[in-house]
Each structure stands twice: as structure tokens, then as C-alpha cells.
Amino acid sequence: MIFSVATSSVLYPKLHHHHLSDFNRNRASTSVKMINSENHKNPRKCECFDLYDQLVPYKKAWSWQKSIVNEKKALIDRNQDCPDTVILLQHPPVYTMGTGSSEDYLNFDVKDAPFDVYRTERGGEVTYHGPGQLVMYPIINLRNHKMDLHWYLRKLEEVVIRVLYSAFSIKASRLDGLTGVWVGNQKVAAIGIRVSKWMTYHGLALNVTTDLTPFDSIVPCGIRNRGVGSVKGLIKDGEDVNRDMSYTKLDDLKLLDVAHESLLKEFSEVFQLQIEKQTVFKLES
């Protein structure tokens, strides 16, 4: 069954999250000011809800995004300034479709789907989200950046390309006519966005340690002649990767830590934003 969801009226809902691990892990940094202030003078602030090591149900994250967008649009209508926002998280297994997605790209009956399927208002075809995949939802006002959707998509791709190279020495690229980030014939990051009154939401998904098996049940992004890859898989295969680097010995949790820290850093640099981490309280469901 394909689901849709109503918009929540709460700006920052108190979510109940499922921890990926019950023990503390060392992280590369706890700094909230990721941007290099020497390169960018007076950067705009971006509030960051960093839930990267938690599984947040897709329906809750979707409603959360839309409520933030509505609050920001209300501020703009009142000629009030509002900071940009970025959310980082992972999802439990789920398939999502864009506004005009075709069910022809589903290799199963939607009434008997292996996971929940949500049709959303983003662009693009069907994709899969699951543990080990870092999802970034930027909710930014393009009036303060550049009012150009193609520019925005290329910047999201640039963030991922920089992450893969700076954190893992993986040489990724764009492909003409296709949105996303590729290493050879494998798509490692999918991008699907929605923009309302120049306010962005939805975003990008980077396969870090993702189990890629669920992608076999769909035609990812509607592209039949290419595959899907992950950082972990690329490192294991050794192609397009510097095998002498220490990250080749990292376990799954550490790979996620490294990718997460780099994702925030490169996002702040590409969009010239000062990242300021916020707190989200939990609410038992």
C-alpha cells in the first residue's frame, strides 16, 4: 500500500528514535561551527538537527520537514528573517516515490510490498531508504543563496562528491542528464527535492554501509541500465579507492561517523553556512 501523510502543526516535534547502538562511540568532532571562518566572512547560520546515528520513521521525518517549511514561509510572509535548517538521520527500511513516479518501477505488488511505500511531493522516481544510509534534509531559503533549482541540485551533488573524496579518497562524478552522484556505473547518492516559495525540503541520501539488497525490488530512480553502490562496497572492491588509507580498516559504525562528519563539513562549506547543532527531545510513542 502507498501512503501519504498530513503535515504536522508542530515546528520541532518530539520524536521517539530507535538507537542504532546502545554504547557511546567516539566521534571526529563535537564542534558546531563547521565552516572555515577564514574563507567565509559573516556566514549565515544554519540550525542542525543531527540525528545521524538514529533511525527515524519516514512518516515522522516527512511531517517534521513540512512543518518547518510552513513555519519558515510564515516568517517570510511577515518579512521576518529565519535561519536555514538541516536535518541528518537514517530511516528504517522504506520505499519512497516522487510526485509523478511510475509504479512500473516497482518489482512487487504495492498491496504486498516488502516495506512501507510513501508517495511524496519530491521530484524523481522510486528509491529505498534504510539503515546505513545517511539522509540529509536541507530546509534552506534559496532567496538567500541563489534562486535557481539547477544550481541547488548541482550544489547538493558537489557536497557528496567532496565528501567521498575528502573522507574516503573515492573519485565520484556527475553523469550528464542524470541527477545524483556516481562512481563508475554505480549510483552512491540519490537526490530528490521539493521547493515551495524558494524554500527547499527533501534532499539527498548517501549509501554508506547500506544493505543494497532492497534496491533489487525496484528500478532505483527509474534507471534500468545502471547499478547502486555504497561507500563500504566501493572500499571493499578497491576500485577508485586509495587502498593505503586507514579508513579501509574501519567498521560500519566508524564509517558512518566519518561520513557524517564530512557531510556536515562539506555542506557548510559549499553553502557557506555556519552549522549550529540543536537539541531534539524524545517522546515515547
Q: Check if the beta carbon of residue 163 is closer than 8 Å to that of residue 204.
A: no
Q: With contact defined as beta carbons under 8 Å apart, do 141 and 199 qualify? A: yes
Separation between Cα atoms, residue 108 and residue 56, nearest integer Å: 25
C-beta neighbour count of 105 within 10 angstroms: 17
- Active-site residue set: 221
Confidence of residue 22 (pLDDT cuts 50, 70, 90): very low
* Set of cell numbers at residue 178: 542524470
157 in Cβ contact with 180 (< 8 Å)? yes
Q: Is the pLDDT of residue 6 over 60?
A: no
* 30: confidence class by pLDDT, cuts 50, 70, 90: very low
Report pLDDT for 1. Answer: 52
DSSP category for residue 162: H
Provide the pLDDT for residue 13: 40
**Percent of all residues in the chain with a pLDDT value above 70, rounded to a whole number:** 80
The tally of CA atoms less than 13 A away on the side-chain side of residue 150 is 3
Alpha helices in the chain (DSSP H): 58-77, 149-168, 231-237, 252-270
Residue 20 reports pLDDT greater than 70: no
pLDDT above 50 (res 23): no
With a cut of 70, say whether residue 76 has pLDDT above it: yes
Burial of 73 (0-12, 13-18, 19+ CB in 10 A): middle
User: In the predicted model, what is the mean pLDDT of the chain?
Assistant: 86
* Torsion from C-alpha of 3, 135, 133, 49, nearest 10 degrees: -110
Which of the four pLDDT bands, split at 50, 70 and 90, describes residue 33? Answer: low
What is the percentage of the chain residues whose pLDDT exceeds 90?
Answer: 76
pLDDT tens, 141-175? 999 999 999 999 999 999 999 999 999 999 999 99
Instruction: Domain ranges for the chain, please list them.
Output: 44-239+247-283
| Predicted confidence band of residue 60 (pLDDT cuts 50, 70, 90) | very high
User: pTM higher than 0.85, yes or no?
Assistant: yes
Give DSSP secondary structure letters for 2-48.
EE--PPPS-SS--B--EES-SS----S---S--S-TTTSSSPEEEEE
| CATH entry 3.30.1360.120 includes domain 44-239+247-283 | no
